[in-house]
Structure 1
Amino acid sequence: MAPSKKKHATKQACVIPEGFAVLPLQFSPDSAARHSLYVKEHKVRAEKTSYRPLDRTLFVLNIPPYCSRSVIKDLFSQFGVVASVELRDVPGSFQESGPKLSKIFRPAAKQGFKVGYIVFESSSSVAAAKSHPHDEPLVVSTEQKPVKTGVQKWIQQYTKSIIHPDKLQQMVDSFMQDYDKRQEEEAERQRQEAEKQQEDEEGWVKVTRGHKGAKARPHSEAANQRTLQREARKKRRKELMNFYTWQHKNTQKEHIAELRRKFEEDKQRIALMRAQRKFKPY
């Protein structure tokens, strides 16, 4: 017997404005409540990175807090092989900030709904996820792969947070070794740049002929630091000269005031002598 048209219509995907497809989410098989995920193909042309290929990346909104990276990977593995899963608090470009830290040294992640970027091995997996029927929910917690919530989740997180001192010491030693190595590499790079760009006190750079086709070297960080130091020295000398100029002007003003005071005293003395008729200029 052929299936009815009404039943066939329920197998269609639900697409809302802005091109998002609705994927129903159900926490457990016997749960009556459902949650909705909104997915569409990631198409940000301005983002030129290999971590989110435009033809194999699925952009997901409204991911609940109980869905971790591993849970999201298991849910979307039914559409194809998942290469990577990235969860963020807000949409944004991919950014690598500093060295990769252990979970012990990373700050605690914020709890709340997140957005995700799921990268598949094949571009057909993105189309399969977008065309998933809206009446067939994705089940988060199953008997084979249960997801703990509430008190059980807190107990599990507390148990994982307890680390053996020896293992913690190994992580700290490994991190410090990597840090010392990066510091040595940075010091060596600065030393080489300082040797390449030897500047005199007037700021001239000795230029040597390089190989054919070599591009001009931009000012290094060490050269910029030396320039800033020279400017600071010039500024201090200028301030000192201004101080001496002010002191000289102040001395001149005091000298002129003293002369004026003596001139007034002499005028008073001459007036007194005239009054006493003892003034004989000739």
Structure 2
Amino acid sequence: MAKAEGAADGGGASTSYRLLPVKIKGPGGGPAVTRYLYIKQHASPADGLPKERALFVAGIPVALQGPPLVELFAQFGEVERAALHGSRVSAVLLYRAAEGLAALLKAAARGRPLELRLPEPQGPCGLKAWVEQHKALKPGNGELQAALDEWMEDWEAEEERKRQEALKAQEDDGWTVVQRHKGRKKNASATGVVVGGVAGAAAAAAQLAAAKQKDPTHSDFYRFQQREQRRSELLDLRAKFEQDKKRIAELRASRKWKPY
């Protein structure tokens, strides 16, 4: 029986490790690789696990880190649970029955290696998996260009929306937006109607009247202007009336009979 002396696994007492050889066969049917595990009963009062069912395993290779480790030791009995250490090179397993741990220790005492065939990987593994993972972090030029085009379309659409809102606000204020075109100058409203000459003036006046009807605030503003204009015209009429009245009095005075 192969043994290796080691420190306790947290229980405080010195215990002996048993050397357990494991032949690992790849999924492709290639040559088996032998790895050696160090096992012993796990006696740690801090964990509160029953000593007759708990197993401590050290020296776990990468190929056995995870479900393959449970599958390997499940050959001797049902494994209730397994806890892999943060370093991933050691673990604690708990058998559902003490007979499972006893059968494992007996097989390790005989020195016969255990055999385990790894399952077929669901995706790329090894170096190929690392290469695929690296490629996934760096998308190609096509995906990058597509993402850039989508961003530019969204940005241009947002800028166009802002421009239309600004033009609409100017139109609501009663302004006629002048756009520069090649050739003769034309006027265009915010709605995109191009106007020019007499017809353009009529169209602009119609838009201005529509804007007054839409917004009561601006309508009140224009009525105020109209009231000021009528008041100014009334003052001018009164001044003209006084002038005419004075002139008529002068004419009447000049027509009186004067014998001398």
TM-score tier after normalising by the smaller chain length: 0.3 to 0.5
Whose Rg is larger? Answer: 2
User: Higher strand fraction: Structure 1 or Structure 2?
Assistant: 2
Bigger relative contact order, structure 1 or 2 (CA pairs below 8 A, ≥6 apart): 1
Give the TM-score normalised by the residue count of structure 1.
Answer: 0.37
